[in-house]
Structure 1
Amino acid sequence: MASSKGNFFSNLQIRHKLWAGFGLVLAILVIVGLGVFPSLVNTEQKTGSMVLERQPAAAAAQELAHRLERSLSALGFYLLGKEEKHKQNYLEGLKKLAEELEILKTNQLVTSDPELSELLINIDKDVAAFAAVRDRMITLATTDSQNFPGIAFAGEAINPVNRQIQSLLSEMILSEEGEEVSEERRALLIELGNLRNTWTGVINGVRAYLAFRSKGAIDEATLYLETTGSIAKRLQEECADMLTFEQEDGLAQFIELREQVVASLKQLEKIHGGKRWRTDAYLINTSVNEMLERIDGNVDALVNRLREDNERTGSELLADVEGTKAFLITLLLVGLLLGVLIAFLMARSICRPIQSAVVAMEDIAKGEGDLSSRLQLNIGGELGQLSDAFNLFIEKIHTLTAMDSEAKAVSPR
């Protein structure tokens, strides 16, 4: 029977020892894998957060700022040129702006972070306000009377009075047709013509001021207006006896209407010469620009925060990779050493008993063996069985040899 002496491992069969050795090596590999797995999971989570959430959020925020600039540029071109393509570019820009904002709203990283969420709320509020002026801007671009309050004022306050004055001056001149021709009447007619021409200069100055907002134009209109006052006064004082009924009544109305134009011209200069002379430009320079500045500031803060998070996560990933690499190398070295040790112990536990049996058999085969000696392997398994069988074989040979020797000793020669 196989010897039951020795430790548990030495009593195992060879196939069991091989399985045990492979099992230990496999266990070492599993330990190495389990040691690295948490770090890999952490790296995957950080990489996924950076690639799937932070970078798309930063890209969407930057694209939002870009779309905002393009929308404002298209609006500016539309207000200046009134071209339909610029209007469509403006409306399309607002649509894209809303889409980029929606991407940010659905980003879990942004919505779950209090600071980023607050920035997004402010951006959303200002973008909504920017989009809300769309209809107002389109109306201003297509309606000069609303966009240019000076033109609207001139149309309401000056233009009707001008038509009345032009009609009065024409009637005053036409009333001369029924009068006798004389040097005095001719001089009066010339003076009335000068009054009408001078008044035309007033209106031309007003039109030039409305078109170019030139200080020279309004000064010229004012100068012509003063001249009409002088002419009207001279007609009243020097030609009162020569005036026809139409001329006298028309001149009185002219002086009254002229005073209205004097007051209106001063008001026109305040309106058309002030900051609100063009409504769309005033809105852009005040409320719209304030919105854009807030949006730019909040978008920059959002992008900078996301960039800082990306940089920090990148640094952490590099540190994690370095740590994982060092840990993996350590585990591999330890595993390699343990594997070599296990292989050595397995080879030793298998080869040494076999070598002892080989030496004993060689001694017997060469006739130099001690038949009284036995293999003392003290192990189980196949080698233990081999040891027991070998010892039994030697014992039988020893017995036969002894019997043969005894037989030879008692037999006659």
Structure 2
Amino acid sequence: MSDSRTLTDHAPYDALLLLSFGGPEAPEDVVPFLENVTRGRGIPKERLTEVGKHYFLFGGVSPINEQNRDLLAALRKDFAEHGLDLPVYWGNRNWAPYLVDTLRELATDGHRRILVLATSAYAGYSGCRQYRENLADALAQLAEEGLPAPTVDKLRHFYNHPGFVRPMIDATLAALAELPAGVRDGARLAFTTHSIPTAMADTSGDPDDPARSAPGGAYVAQHLDVARLIADAVAEATGVADRPWELVYQSRSGAPHIPWLEPDICDHLEAQHADGAPGVVMVPIGFVSDHMEVKYDLDTEALAKAAELGLPASRAATVGADPRFTAAVRELVLERAATERGAAVERCALGALGPSHDVCAVACCPNPRAARPAAAER
């Protein structure tokens, strides 16, 4: 930042909205929550009950809402400690507090220019455009109710911000340290993220971004860039320069005839065991917090698979409410505010891809089913 004023000047914005996926908080919430997630896809209730078994194993409660409460509190604390007088609200796509209710509260409280932090770090339909479509829907509902619909802008993708990458480096080193001493130097790294259909991956990102033309589009390119950053830092810290690593996927939920990104983490563990790997550290770079897809797909299924194979394995923590991440959010807020005022500002990013764009193009990460209005685009 160029002067002391910009360290706390959030104009033209008057609020920040933490926007997340949402999750059930009681057994009776599970099927209604899944009905929200899958609305319009014609999935029978019996199938949703079967899918909900992951949640029932955890008492019908997803960890994501508590994780978001922690992040909300951490952001408010960080802002207050640094003199940033910007209120922070929280809304979800699929469960209470619902996005439209939070936007109604923001409008009623008099907020007119809002920044949005989506709890997804990467380009992609599900991680970016779908959130912006939900914002457009909610703003349209406010307009129908006669409320003044605020202007919303979304913070740029933060996957390569130092405040996201550096906590992941430390978490990977901590997970390595959990392995037996004789395993650590030979242990391999499996960087995990949510699998998506390959067609969706190929069209992820801004059409003008060279990363979109890479194999797997911007979604895969961005994950690979972060994985390299972490792998290089771990190599430097441990003195093991040739430690193998790979980007792998988890949480596939689509029809079997549709190609999705592979390999799956459990298949990868089997392949590593067959290849003689002494151990594996799973690093969930695709997730901001330890929600259900981390707790079940990695901590339950994948670690059970590793135990079955006799393969020593551990799992790195996600960023969660790490103070470096909350500081990064503050920096991104001030960066975007300064940019909107026309001021020169440093845009922090690590790796080869540089900082992401502030405003998505209309053709960014297109809806695979049908074109729909989306907020915060040019």
Query: What TM-score bracket applies, with the shorter chain setting the length?
Result: under 0.3
For normalisation by structure 1, the TM-score amounts to 0.17
Say which one has the larger Rg: 1
Answer 1 or 2: which has greater strand percent: 2
Higher normalized contact order (CA 8 Å, seq sep 6+, divided by chain length): 1
